[in-house]
Amino acid sequence: MKTESSSLAVMEWYLTAGVDEIVGETPVDRLNKPDIAETPLPAPQIAASAPVFAPASLPAPASVSAATAELAAKAATLDELRAAMESFDGCALKQTAANLVFADGNPAADLMIVGEAPGAEEDKKGLPFVGASGHLLDLMLKSVGRDRTNVYISNVVSWRPPNNRKPSEDEIALLTPFIKRHIALVHPKILLLLGGSAVSALIGIKDGITRTRGRWLTYRDGDVSIPAFASFHPAFLLRSPAQKKAAWRDFLTVAQALNQN
Position 171 contacts ligand URA (CB under 6 A) = no
Position 237 contacts ligand URA (CB under 6 A) = no
Q: How far is the CB of 176 from ligand URA (least distance, A)?
A: 14
Q: How far is the CB of 219 from ligand URA (least distance, A)?
A: 17
Q: H/E/C letters for each residue in the chain? A: CCCHHHHHHHHHHHHHCCCCCCCCCCCCCHHHCCCHHHCCCCCCCCCCCCCCCCHHHCCCHHHHHHHHHHHHHCCCCHHHHHHHHHHCCCCHHHHHCCCCCCCEECCCCCEEEEECCCCHHHHHHCCCCCCHHHHHHHHHHHHCCCCCCCCEEEECCCCCCHHHCCCCHHHHHHHHHHHHHHHHHHCCCEEEEECHHHHHHHCCCCCCHHHHCCCEEEEEECCEEEEEEEECCHHHHHHCHHHHHHHHHHHHHHHHHHHHC
Position 161 contacts ligand URA (CB under 6 A) = no
Position 178 contacts ligand URA (CB under 6 A) = no
Q: How far is the CB of 194 from ligand URA (least distance, A)?
A: 7
Q: How far is the CB of 4 from ligand URA (least distance, A)?
A: 58
User: Which is nearer to ligand URA, 118 or 188 (by Cβ)?
Assistant: 118
Position 158 contacts ligand URA (CB under 6 A) = no
Kindly list the distances between the CA atom of residue 221 and the CA atoms of 67, 168, 214, in Å, as whole numbers in the listed order: 17, 22, 22
Q: How far is the CB of 116 from ligand URA (least distance, A)?
A: 4
- Are residues 99 and 125 in contact, defined by beta-carbon separation less than 8 angstroms? yes
Position 128 contacts ligand URA (CB under 6 A) = yes
Residue nearest to ligand URA (CB): 115
Position 202 contacts ligand URA (CB under 6 A) = no
User: Which is nearer to ligand URA, 131 or 188 (by Cβ)?
Assistant: 131
Contacts (CB under 6 A) with ligand URA, residues 28-87: none
Position 129 contacts ligand URA (CB under 6 A) = yes
Q: How do beta strands 216-221 and 224-231 pair?
A: antiparallel
User: Which is nearer to ligand URA, 129 or 178 (by Cβ)?
Assistant: 129
Cα–Cα distance measured from residue 56 to residue 213, given in angstroms and rounded to the nearest whole number = 35
Position 196 contacts ligand URA (CB under 6 A) = no
- Are residues 181 and 73 in contact, defined by beta-carbon separation less than 8 angstroms? yes
What character string, x for contact with ligand URA (CB under 6 A) and - otherwise, covers 100-119?
A: ---------------xxxxx
Position 230 contacts ligand URA (CB under 6 A) = no
**Given candidates 122, 123, 138, 250, which one binds ligand URA under the rule CB under 6 A?**
122
Q: By the criterion CB under 6 A, which residues form the site for ligand URA?
A: 115-119, 122, 128-129, 131, 133-134, 155, 235
